[in-house]
Amino acid sequence: MRWWGKRAERSVAAGGDIAVAVTGDHNRILLTSAVRSAYWEQVRRIAPPRLVDREAESAELSAFCTADSGPAYAWWRAGAWAGKTALLSWFALHPPRGVRIVPFFITARLGAQNDVVAYVDVVLEQLAELSGEALPAHLTVATREAHLLYLYGAAARACAERGERLVLLVDGLDEDRGVTTGPDAHSIASLLPTRPEAGMRVLVAGRLNPPLPGDVPEDHPLRDPAIVRTLSPSPYARAIRAEAERELKRLIEAGGLEHDLLGLVAVAGGGLTAEDLAALTGAVPYRVRDVLSTRAGRTFGLRVDVYLLGHEELQAQAEEMLGTSRMDLYRAKLHAWAEEWRARGWPEETPEYLLRGYFRMLRSTGDLERMLRYGADTRRQERMLVLTGSDASAVNEIHLTEDLIIERGARRPLDSLRLAIHRERLVDRSAGAPDSLPHAWALAGQTGRAVALARSLPNGHRRGMGLAAVADVLLEQGDRDGAVDLLVEAAEAARQGEGHSRDDLARCTIADLFARAGQFDRAAALARTVGTQYFHVHAYVQIGKACLAAQRWDLAQELVDGAPNEACRTGMGNVVISAHATAGRHAEAEMMARATEPGARAAALITLASALRESGQHERADALCAEAVAWARDRAEDDEVVSLLADAGEFDRAESFLAGLYGEVDYEEAAGELTGWLAWAGELDRAEALLATLSPRGHHRALRDVAQARARAGRYEQAEALVRQIPAADIAWSALCSIVRIMADAGEVDRAESLARALGPRMEVPSALYEVVESLAQSGDPDRARALADSLAHPVEQNHASLEVAAALVRAGRREEAVRVLLAVESRTRVLHPLTAARKLGAAATALAEAGHREAALAVLHGTETLLTDRRSEPYASPGEYMSSLRALVAACTATGQLDRAETWAGRAPDDFERRDLLAPVVRGWARSGEVDRAAAVTTAEAEADPALAGILSSLVVPFARGLAEAGDVEAAEAHVREAAEPGNGTSALCALAVTMTETGRTDRARRIVDELIAIESGYDRPSMMDLSALVRALAAAGEGDAARAALDAMTPPDRLSGSARYIGVTAFAEALTALGHHERAMETLRTIEDPYDRAHGTLGLVDVLAGSGECARAEELARTVPVPAMLSRAWARIAAATTDDEQARRLAALALQGGEWVSALPALLRQAPDVVPLVVEAADAMKSACAQHPGAPTEARTSAPS
């Protein structure tokens, strides 16, 4: 399994004997596997020196922790000052033999210890220590909790293997402030394990009868009343309470330093050290410690090195006694102190409180102005990165601030945008890790870091693939339970995608691994969600093979019977037929083969024949083959019959059948297919003989297959000579790369390297030299592989080659070297990628131009040429990513009137089809601006450049005509379409033209075209569903209800639609219904789409129609049903841009900014607050400057990007 993906790059420095490496962006990465939690020092500070009169309770706790059976949860409850924290902290320090306790004491009066963020930080550290895994160095807010859930199981299993039991102890569940920080915040209780593994126990404590937070699942053990145990109050604790309250009153009355210390600790919410308090009061640290620990020891507590009030009740009493004015006074002291450090630029000696607890204090008091100031302070965020090792805390502060803005009516659009820009900067610089890096870290034994990195990848399919890669390593190592845990999480991540083919690849991969782990039901359930047929069938067949390998014949048959479609049923059925025949169950195999659907019967019979031939039953096999061929000839193309026979290894039968075709039209295609099969099977002489009968035209792949077979036979010169006869450059290059790999695998490394260097790099695929590196690494020569990897020209490819080297070093037992190689790769990947920047800059410039800010748009576009210098400069970047960036820049140049520049950008498209797609808005722009000759010249040039377009309506005709119509010359527009169209290919163009005529007010001409379209009876010449839907929507918006309904009647009803793209037609029909006000019918239509991702896309389309027609309240209601977060953010942005309700616009724009990319929300923001323009230009300059640091960026980028 080849776990490698894309892009991104940084620098790293580390000494040979240190435990922490500091990368070029100051991210700390632990090099040692051991972690020692400092939290136990805090527990020792909490615990009493001895436990008084609690022997019975201590024994009961020990019994719960060591029991072989019974509930996994216990919940001890008591009122204030009952002594439960003293009991549990003492017990944590004195557990029974064989019990390993992971404690967390929630303290509402300590700002850094009272919410889910603190809980995850503290517990992660302890679990990492117990599991023996490295502490993850770069968890984000989005991934830290998922990593915690993984480590629960990993630590529990590690303890069980040592003969120990893991106990999670959480005290003060009622003091959790996580659920009060915003609408999307959640509780510590919701993160406690639902089904503890490996004998793990969970012990929680809190006040009497507390309500459980609403985010705790209904089936969670905390909801079981049987686990509750009430703790009786301790007389000793009551005595301490009386003494502490007397001491508190004395401090209030004393004034001076004691009064100041009380006030500062109370307002700070905990977290101040003696040195901090000395700086704030002007006293020396020794005197501060003396007051807090000696003269007021009952009032104050010490957690590690920071002070807080000794009890939650004391915190409340202190706030009441001090009064609002005094609390404000001490809070002002903290603010002034923070400003001093801010003015100094947050140097290395910055007090930790100002980087951790201070912001929580701001949130608890609702101090939005300061939250904005500190939450978007870049230098402070860099200092936090050094302190914490990740951007998680900084991103969390931004989320808290965004929540507060939304709570207060979202009346700060400029601030919301600034926060979103800062957050995206942090996220983007973490998004560039190669997809295969988690796999490499897992191979190096750093499973914790591997999982953390996989969870930090930016979208569902990448997270799913990353986690699956780690699970693959765990399966190889025999850790089935750990692998299954990760695969469950990976499957959930893959389901969060938007239904693209890459999401299907992730689901297919995860399903295959589930099957390998023996989780057949999970594998089949996930495989059924795959939309792409190739991946769908592959996943299903692999699951079936795994079932049969495990002798689960019943499950295999269930898979056949319950297959989601005919292709899966056929593929799976053939696997079972072959297995039956191989196992000697010939009757069952033949009965099953003959029971298959007619279209699949030939393949089933040939599969059976091949299995029978393997068992020596040649006569019966011959008879079945003959029957299958006769059956197939009546129902399939001749080349399909040949492929069926060759796929089953029936080469003699295939050649015999082929001989009967000689001279017929189908011979060439069928012979080309068989040539490839023979070559791959090692039948080189037969393949070459058959190749000689073929004409040179069109059989590029047969030439390639035979050339590769020659190379495998050691006939390298002949292989190269044959490849050079292939006229298709891409196939020839690919074939030469494969020959390079064959040479290298055969030990001919010098020869392979020489040919690879002659070939050079190419587009988005790995270079031939990369193949040599991979071969060397996998054959056990990491040193030469490393030298070659370092010589690769492009940094991205060098990173991927380095991952292969690291894997080779691990296999060679040189794990420490492998870790350093991986650190170097990881350190180069924390930087904004030019493709990402180009796409965002193009979208921002378009929004600015369309809102009337052309000069600002031009400033944003300045220097973007250096971001996408050439398609070949972006190896491993998918064509989709590259085209998205190009499309955004073309749109921006068109919107700003820079049509020459837009045409230049379009010329960088990788193929003719994509270029014409990009030229469409350019041609439309030329025609709209009166430059008709320019538009005509581009259209003509494109038609002449591709003879294949003869007789086909050019894709540029419609944009040309629409531009003419928008310029007011509707007669010329219609004439242009009718002159260019030929019978059978012009109705969609007329339909699109009618849309433009409607939008420009010429509804009379549009109605006439509608009548013309309706009169067409032939289905072949009717417009597409999408074109007709657009016409319905345009006519409805123009008030032409009758014409709109007539156009709707011309659409194909959804129940008559079929095929893989059915959802497109169904969505188009639903959108047309929505435009006409048939909302219920539209939703009923949409619900017929089975795939949830396609249905979500369709829902987004209806939201667009509703927003565009002014029904924004209904649009918002519908948007809330969209299950995919990225789509939901786009829905908010579109409604916010369309609504006339200022409150709705502000609120939804803020939500769009919080959940999606800031450029998507920019059109709405520019309507609400034009003063955001300078901030957008500033952000654009920052992105261009960041891209200048990208290792693959051209030198000019450093000089052309604004400073």
- Asked whether residue 538 is assigned to any structural domain, the reply reads no
- Predicted confidence band of residue 222 (pLDDT cuts 50, 70, 90): confident
How many structural domains are present in the chain? 2
- Predicted confidence band of residue 335 (pLDDT cuts 50, 70, 90): very high
352: which DSSP letter? G
Give the least confident one: 283-292, 612-621, 637-646, 790-799.
637-646
Task: Tell me how far CA of residue 1177 lies from CA of 63, 151, 506, 1073, 1172, in angstroms.
Answer: 65, 43, 38, 41, 9
Residue 58 and residue 201 share a domain: yes
> 864-880 pLDDT, tens per residue?
988 876 544 444 455 67
Q: What is the pLDDT of residue 873?
A: 45
Alpha helices in 551-683 (DSSP H): 553-561, 566-582, 586-594, 598-614, 618-633, 638-647, 651-659, 667-680
Beta bridge partners of 762: 765
Alpha helices in 293-429 (DSSP H): 312-343, 357-365, 368-375, 378-388, 392-407, 413-428
Q: Which of 213, 233, 253 is the last residue of a domain?
A: 233
Q: What is the pLDDT of residue 8?
A: 33
Show Cβ contacts of residue 1186 under 8 Å, excluding neighbours closer than 6 positions. 425, 429, 831, 832, 837
Show Cβ contacts of residue 885 under 8 Å, excluding neighbours closer than 6 positions. 835, 836, 838, 839, 842, 867, 868
CATH number for the domain harbouring residue 208:
3.40.50.300
For the chain, the average pLDDT equals: 79
- Asked whether residue 501 is assigned to any structural domain, the reply reads no
Q: How far apart are CA 332 and CA 315, in angstroms?
A: 19
- Predicted confidence band of residue 365 (pLDDT cuts 50, 70, 90): confident
> 65-89 pLDDT, tens per residue?
998 888 889 988 887 667 778 888 8
Supply angle C-alpha 510, 516, 518, rounded to 5: 105
> Above pLDDT 70, what percent of the chain?
81
Give the least confident one: 602-616, 760-774, 944-958.
944-958
State mean pLDDT over 1141-1163: 92
Query: What values do phi and psi take at 1130, rounded to 5?
Result: -65, -40
First to last CA, the chain: 44
CB count, 10 Å around CB of 342? 16
State mean pLDDT over 603-631: 76
Question: Domain range spanning residue 354?
Answer: 235-365
State mean pLDDT over 499-517: 82
303 against 291, higher pLDDT: 291
272: which DSSP letter? B
Residue 239 and residue 229 share a domain: no
Q: How far apart are CA 866 and CA 317, in angstroms?
A: 63
Residue 343 and residue 299 share a domain: yes
pTM of the model: 0.69
536 against 1137, higher pLDDT: 1137
522 against 1077, higher pLDDT: 1077
- Asked whether residue 209 is assigned to any structural domain, the reply reads yes
Whether 1123 has a pLDDT exceeding 80, the answer reads no
Q: How far apart are CA 1051 and CA 1064, in angstroms?
A: 13
- Asked whether residue 455 is assigned to any structural domain, the reply reads no
Whether 972 has a pLDDT exceeding 60, the answer reads yes
Residue 358 and residue 261 share a domain: yes
- Predicted confidence band of residue 313 (pLDDT cuts 50, 70, 90): low
State mean pLDDT over 522-538: 75
Chain position carrying tokens 């609690």: 54
Residue 211 and residue 248 share a domain: no
- Asked whether residue 528 is assigned to any structural domain, the reply reads no
Instruction: Catalogue the long-range contacts made by 363-370 (C-beta closer than 8 Å, 24 or more residues apart).
Output: 363/181, 363/400, 363/401, 363/404, 364/111, 364/177, 364/269, 365/331, 366/404, 368/401, 368/404, 368/405, 368/408, 368/412, 370/335, 370/338
Beta bridge partners of 692: none
Q: How far apart are CA 230 and CA 148, in angstroms?
A: 29
Residue 264 and residue 156 share a domain: no
Residue 791 tokens, joined: 């010589």
186 against 171, higher pLDDT: 171
Whether 1075 has a pLDDT exceeding 80, the answer reads yes
Whether 788 has a pLDDT exceeding 70, the answer reads yes
Strand ranges across the sheet with 228-230: 99-105, 165-171, 201-206, 73-77, 228-230
Whether 275 has a pLDDT exceeding 70, the answer reads yes
In contact, 673 and 645? CB cutoff 8 Å:
no
Q: What is the pLDDT of residue 767?
A: 75
Q: What share of the chain is helix, strand, coil (3-state, %, to 5)?
A: 65, 5, 30
- Asked whether residue 560 is assigned to any structural domain, the reply reads no
HSE-CB at 747 with a 13 A cutoff on CA atoms is 1
In contact, 776 and 784? CB cutoff 8 Å:
yes
Q: What is the pLDDT of residue 177?
A: 57
Residue 213 and residue 70 share a domain: yes
- Predicted confidence band of residue 889 (pLDDT cuts 50, 70, 90): very high
Query: What values do phi and psi take at 380, rounded to 5?
Result: -65, -40
433: which DSSP letter? -
- Predicted confidence band of residue 314 (pLDDT cuts 50, 70, 90): low
Q: How far apart are CA 185 and CA 177, in angstroms?
A: 10
Give the least confident one: 4-18, 258-272, 303-317, 992-1006.
4-18
Q: What is the pLDDT of residue 579?
A: 77
Residue 172 tokens, joined: 């003060």
Q: What is the pLDDT of residue 542?
A: 82
Q: Which of 311, 332, 365 is the last residue of a domain?
A: 365
Q: What is the pLDDT of residue 689?
A: 82
State mean pLDDT over 418-437: 84
Residue 180 and residue 79 share a domain: yes
Instruction: Give the closest residue to 112 by CA, choosing from 361, 380, 381.
Output: 361
Residue 333 tokens, joined: 């002291």
Q: How far apart are CA 389 and CA 334, in angstroms?
A: 26
In contact, 1136 and 1160? CB cutoff 8 Å:
no
Residue 306 and residue 273 share a domain: yes
Q: What is the pLDDT of residue 248?
A: 62
Q: What is the pLDDT of residue 242?
A: 56
- Asked whether residue 214 is assigned to any structural domain, the reply reads yes
Whether 907 has a pLDDT exceeding 60, the answer reads yes
Residue 242 and residue 194 share a domain: no
Q: What is the pLDDT of residue 897?
A: 94
Residue 141 and residue 242 share a domain: no
Q: How far apart are CA 471 and CA 476, in angstroms?
A: 9
Q: Are strands 228-230 and 73-77 parallel, antiparallel or unpaired?
A: parallel
> Above pLDDT 90, what percent of the chain?
20
Residue 300 and residue 177 share a domain: no
Whether 334 has a pLDDT exceeding 60, the answer reads yes
- Asked whether residue 351 is assigned to any structural domain, the reply reads yes
State mean pLDDT over 529-542: 73
- Classify the phi-psi angles of 410: left when phi > 0, otherwise alpha if psi is within -120 to 50, otherwise beta: left
Q: What is the pLDDT of residue 845?
A: 97
State mean pLDDT over 520-549: 77
Q: Which of 176, 200, 233 is the last residue of a domain?
A: 233
- The alpha carbon dihedral of 36, 39, 45, 51 has a sign of negative
